[in-house]
Structure 1
Amino acid sequence: MQKKIVRSVSSIFGFVFLIVVCFLAFVVLSSRISGGEPTILGYQVKAVLSGSMEPTFQTGSIISIKLGTDHSTYQEGDILTFRIEDKIVTHRIVDVKQENGQAWYKTKGDNNDAQDLWTVSSQDVVGKYTGFTIPYAGFALNFANSKAGSALLLIIPGILLLISSLRSILSAKKELEVNNA
């Protein structure tokens, strides 16, 4: 009975591990092929690299953002991901200004004492935070995007396939021996 439970738990962990590896491989390979961020049905995942938005989301988390086409419709309180000085930042809107038909957003990290020094134009907005977060998964995503991580994402599935093939061969051999005896 105990052996059966251990085998079941082991199978579940193996399945979850395989799903995570496949997801990371998809993210890394699609971003390498497209040359940009992977997008699924108008959503992107981003890794949180700083604590400026804690406790809304923790450093090392993955967040989902909805890519938008009309970046002038956001309002105070929305959390935006935007480009500023060749960086991607995710902060909350604290003020909205309209100037010459264009929206400008004043932002602030939830964990920061002061508003950001910059004002974000609607053209610099990438998308809006959807409320979906996976804590600490961003550490794995960042590693997977590194050269060593990319190499492992190619090697690990190959090793798993090899192990699975060997198990199948050994199982078939054992079954053949039992049938021949």
Structure 2
Amino acid sequence: MFGLSSMTPRQLATQVLNFALVLSTAFMLWKGLSVVTNSSSPIVVVLSGSMEPAFERGDLLFLWNRGMNTQVGEIVVYNVKEKDIPIVHRVVRRFGGGNTPLKLLTKGDNNLADDTELYAPGQRYLTRSEDVIGSVVGYIPFVGYMTILLSEYPWLKTVMLGLMAVTVLLQRE
């Protein structure tokens, strides 16, 4: 027999609990990684070509946000106020530090101008403690490309969920 109809209530409950365990484990790992790295988003995917050749679209980046002494040349990921897409760019200038808050100016390696046009209206630099999510400490090439495909082609999410549902329904017991 195939599918959910052939399952006993106990088997169905076991499947649901196993699925819940997988989801809660992934959530706990994400939250644990966030605490260890001191970053709200310890892993991000490069969405544009602005950092080529250093990083390509789809590269998976690992961030670290402990130690706020960011140097010129360091690659940081930051959020712009009222925009929810993180930006991956290199620090080209720093202001302050020590007793005054560290402020940074960034630029994409593949861009002609610095990021002042990307910042929030009236913002001329990033505040290290407020805007920066973390500094890049490692990456895996192209692993995050599926994230780009899912965001650029929303119908792909439906197809993938449908395939997962069919797979579950057709599993042998």
- Give the structure-1-normalised TM-score: 0.58
Match of 2:93 among 84, 92, 95: 95
User: Which structure has the larger Rg over C-alpha atoms?
Assistant: 1
- Written as runs of structure 1 = structure 2, the 5 A alignment for 1:67-106 is 67-70=64-67, 72-85=68-81, 86=83, 87-98=85-96, 101-106=100-105
Displacement of 1:144 in angstroms is: 3.9
How far apart are the structure 1 equivalents of 2:32 and 2:55? 21
Match of 2:147 among 132, 141, 148: 141
User: Over residues 44-63 of structure 1, what are the superposed CA-to-partner deviations in whole Å (9 max), with x where a residue is unaligned?
Assistant: 3322222110011112x132
Match of 2:63 among 57, 60, 66: 66
CA RMSD in angstroms comes to: 3.1
In structure 2, give the amino acid aligned to 1:158: A
Displacement of 1:149 in angstroms is: 4.4
Q: Tell me, yes or no, if structure 1 residue 121 matches structure 2 residue 118.
A: no
**Greater helix content:** 1
Question: How many pairs are equivalent?
Answer: 131
How far apart are the structure 2 equivalents of 1:45 and 1:153? 23
User: Over residues 139-174 of structure 1, what are the superposed CA-to-partner deviations in whole Å (9 max), with x where a residue is unaligned?
Assistant: 421444676444444332232233441xx6xxxxxx
Gaps of 5+ in 1: 1-24, 31-37, 169-181
How far apart are the structure 2 equivalents of 1:144 and 1:40? 26
How far apart are the structure 2 equivalents of 1:130 and 1:153? 32
Identity %: 25
- Give the structure-2-normalised TM-score: 0.60
How far apart are the structure 2 equivalents of 1:142 and 1:40? 25
